[in-house]
Amino acid sequence: MERLTLRHPRGESAIVVGAGALAAAADELARWWQGRRVFVVSSAPIAARFAGALEGIEPAGAALVHLEVPDGETAKTVEVARRLWEGMLAAGGKRDSRVVALGGGTVGDVAGFVAATFLRGIELTQIPTTLLAQVDAAIGGKTAIDLPGGKNSVGAFHHPHLVVADTELLASLPRADLRAGLVEVVKMATLLDPGLLDVVEEGLDGLLDGDPRSLDPVVARAIRAKVGVVEDDPEESDRRRLLNLGHTLGHAIEAVLDYRGLRHGEAVAFGLLFALRLARRRGLGPDVARRLVGLLGRFELPPLPPLAAQRLVDTMARDKKARESGIVWVLPVAMGEGRAFADVPLEEVERELEAFLREPFKL
Ligand code: GLY
């Protein structure tokens, strides 16, 4: 078990990480809830599995109000946010009420956004229940909902008061969800912590089996890497952009597939593979590229569905990470080092994309 601190412009987030983190944070949660309304935002399947654990730590005078959102990306709409705002108001929510986001990245995003905006912002705890949310989405204060024309188009930075990343909650995750979360770990390791990549390579079988002895050190180390970047650049004006590696194409793939068929992490894995192609043409050594392709090859990714290169390019150009001047690509330039490139010619992207869609694992 580890306790980390993320310092941000408006204060600090405490992060309790490891097997049994929820039990270890129970007293702290109880103090934070004492005498208040606590809005626990979750999807039905997650609430059925984990909400009971929260009832056990409910202190006297706290009222837990459960608010349900749909499962998956469909939770991140204006309509769902509005339902949550109205539910909180109707249940007597005040400036000092609390929000608990209990779930994966989509629950954390919408619950965080609602906490950021309800009565101009109320305090939030993130209790991520997927690997992806534990290592990435719940850390660093990004909150968002989608518009029909773009994922995460509306959002705010709203740092949680506390993040409880309990790796025991990952025990029943399907292998595909673990794999999807591990892609974000590979992303962070590639850019920030090459030693973490060694650990993932060596322990991949245990990690994909959800073995807590393998997961614990990896989750803690990935969170430490992310904390470092967010503390350096809390609102993504520079270094935090590195965390978008693989997301430029990844988000476009998700959008073109209408958020069905591939998990976010799986789409990012394909985005990362494509980034390696562009990076090779900008000096990334063949050994690094081959190593990453080899590792992602062991992830047993589902096949990439048929996609049209032109649609992907059009979607990327509309993405919120694109600037008015064009698409910005985050590419690894060496192991442990990445850079943002704003000058990749569109013709090159189109040409490489055609080849990539035929053979995603070829460099
Ligand atoms: N998930 C990317 C970031 O938090 O910046």
In order along the chain (363 residues), what is the average pLDDT of each group of 10 residues? 96 97 95 94 95 81 92 94 98 97 97 98 98 98 91 95 96 93 97 97 94 94 98 95 96 92 96 98 96 96 96 85 78 96 93 96 92
Torsions phi, psi for 322 (to 5 deg): -70, 150
140 lines ligand 1 (CB under 6 A): yes
| pLDDT of 320 | 60
- The residue ranges of DSSP E strands in the chain, in sequence order, are 2-8, 11-18, 37-43, 63-69, 98-103, 123-128, 142-147, 150-157, 162-166, 329-334, 337-341
What is the pLDDT, as a whole number, of residue 324?
67
Please name the residue that has the structure tokens 């208040």: 36
At 243, list the tokens.
């965390």
- The tokens describing 358, both together, are 């035929």
Expressed in angstroms and rounded, the spacing between residue 9 Cα and the centre of ligand 1 is: 16
Catalytic-role residue among 98, 221, 226, 277: 226
C-alpha 12, offset from chain centre = 20
Residue with tokens 């025991």: 168
Q: Which two tokens stand for residue 339?
A: 């850079």
Please report the pLDDT score of residue 72 as a whole number.
Answer: 87
Helices 175-192, 264-280: crossing angle, 10 deg rounding = 30
Within 91-211, residue ranges assigned H as helices are 105-117, 131-132, 175-192, 194-208
Catalytic residue among 76, 179, 221, 240: 240
Whole-number Å distance, alpha carbon 243 to ligand 1 midpoint, is 6
Return the C-alpha torsion angle 149, 226, 4, 56, nearest 10. Answer: 30
